Amino acid sequence: MDFRLTADQSALVEALDKLAARFEAKPTAFRGFALVSHELEEELAEGEYFDIAQVPELGALSAAMAVERLARLPCTAEIALSLLVRPQLSGEWPRPLAVVEDGRPGRFVASAGTILVIEGGDVGLVRPAAEEVQPVESLFAYPMGRLRDGTRATPLSADEAANIGKWLRVALAAEASGLLQAAVASAVEHLTVRKQFGRPLGTFQALRHRMAECAVLAGGVRWLALKAADTQDPGDAALAALHAQESATRIIYDVHQMLGAMGMTLEHPLHLWTYRLKAILSELGGRGGQARAVAAQCFGET
């Protein structure tokens, strides 16, 4: 147990902070849901950030740190699956990656190079042709897309599927961790500057305590996500994903309450994080799915 960053991890964090600094501001004119940055994606590809997990000095833990850091940005790109799941696929499976679960629309499906198709416990892979995917309008702050019914997928073995399931959970938790931190920070900023009854909202104990509880939950998600990335244990991955979805459910509601009507507007960036979190809530079976995975991995339930 040693939580100090290695020299390589420190260098990575520094480089990511520098890169992220250029993408920190929401474009003032943007009034939509899915704020996608192709520029960010290109920079990450150019800097070979998508290969972090395969660099021996960095590995999956560092990749999870990168996912978490970049998820705090107001803009998004398909990062988490490329960094944490794609290295687990044997063969050439181009990024971006997307997941289609039981035929529902998924994040980044319309632009995906590879789609992981989950039907019940089975997982298959698809390199979709352009006509097999289509974008769909959505309230979620990711570009959502649908895969044409009946598209044939290359099935993975049960062991491969279990491994992919594990890494999808790690990716979910790492991304949620960054989103939760950004949502909490956004609400804290509002409570600090917004005055009502002649004083900043952040001086009211009812709100302070709720935000403090949100911060504790978000911090817990971060620890569990990083731990799961490092141990690569399926139980740790299930715990991390469960805690992420559980905490997100609570935090999404609380931060919107803190922002009041301002958080309902598309001028304010809050929804960019909370409506990404909402997209993540249902993934991989939602909390019930994670709980069954925890029961199998941690409680020996068959």
208 touches other proteins by CB under 8 A = yes
Strand partners, 235: none
Q: How many CB atoms lie within 10 A of CB 302?
A: 4
**220 binding other proteins? (CB under 8 A):** yes
Which of 11, 36, 161, 215 is close enough to bind other proteins by CB under 8 A? Answer: 215
Instruction: Please state the closest distance from residue 206 (CB atom) to other proteins, in A.
Output: 11
In the bound complex, what is the minimum distance in angstroms from residue 286's beta carbon to other proteins?
A: 10
Window 240-259: residues binding other proteins (CB under 8 A) = 240, 242-243, 246
Closest CA to 274 of 198, 210, 201, 182: 182
Token pair of 74, please? 């107001």
Number of residues located near other proteins, criterion CB under 8 A: 52
Report the b/e string of 6-18 with b at 16+ CB within 10 A: eeebeebeeebee
Q: Is 152 in the site for other proteins (CB under 8 A)?
A: no
Query: Which residues between 159 and 188 bind other proteins (CB under 8 A)?
Result: 184, 188
Closer of 144 and 294 to other proteins (Cβ):
294
Cβ 85 to other proteins shortest distance, Å:
20
287 binds other proteins (CB under 8 A): yes
The minimum distance between CB 240 and other proteins, in angstroms, equals 8
Distance, CA of 231 to CA of 176 (rounded, Å) = 19
Phi-psi label, residue 52: left if phi above 0, alpha if psi -120 to 50, beta otherwise: alpha
**Interface with other proteins, residue 61, by CB under 8 A:** yes
Enclosing H/E stretch for 195: strand 195-196
Burial of residue 90 (CB within 10 Å: 0-12, 13-18, 19+) is exposed
Q: Does residue 260 touch other proteins according to CB under 8 A?
A: no
Residue pair 182/71 in contact (Cβ under 8 Å)? The answer is: yes
Provide the β-strand partners of residue 146. 134
4 near other proteins, rule: CB under 8 A: yes
Cα angle at 133 between 128 and 138, to 5 degrees?
140
Considering only the stretches 41-49, 109-117, 145-153, 225-233, report the one whose residues sit in contact with other proteins under the rule CB under 8 A: 225-233
- Structural tokens at position 79: 């990062």
3-state secondary structure 56-119: CCCHHHHHHHHHHHHHCCCCECCCHHHHHCHHHCCCCCCCCEEEEECCCCEECHHHCCEEEEEE
Q: Which is nearer to other proteins, 152 or 199 (CB)?
A: 199
Give yes or no for residue 5 binding other proteins (CB under 8 A).
Answer: yes
For 82, 270, 291, 296, the CA distances from 96, given in Å and listed in that order, are 6, 25, 28, 31
Q: Is 1 in the site for other proteins (CB under 8 A)?
A: yes
Q: Is 124 in the site for other proteins (CB under 8 A)?
A: no
Answer yes or no whether residue 266 interacts with other proteins by CB under 8 A: no
Q: Is 6 in the site for other proteins (CB under 8 A)?
A: yes
Cβ proximity to other proteins: between 7 and 29 the closer is 7
Contact stretch for other proteins (CB under 8 A) within 109-117, 119-127, 235-243, 269-277: 235-243
* Residues near other proteins, by CB under 8 A: 1-6, 9, 61, 184, 188, 191-192, 199-200, 202-205, 208-209, 211-213, 215-216, 219-221, 223-224, 226-227, 230-231, 236, 238-240, 242-243, 246, 287-288, 290-292, 294-295, 298-301
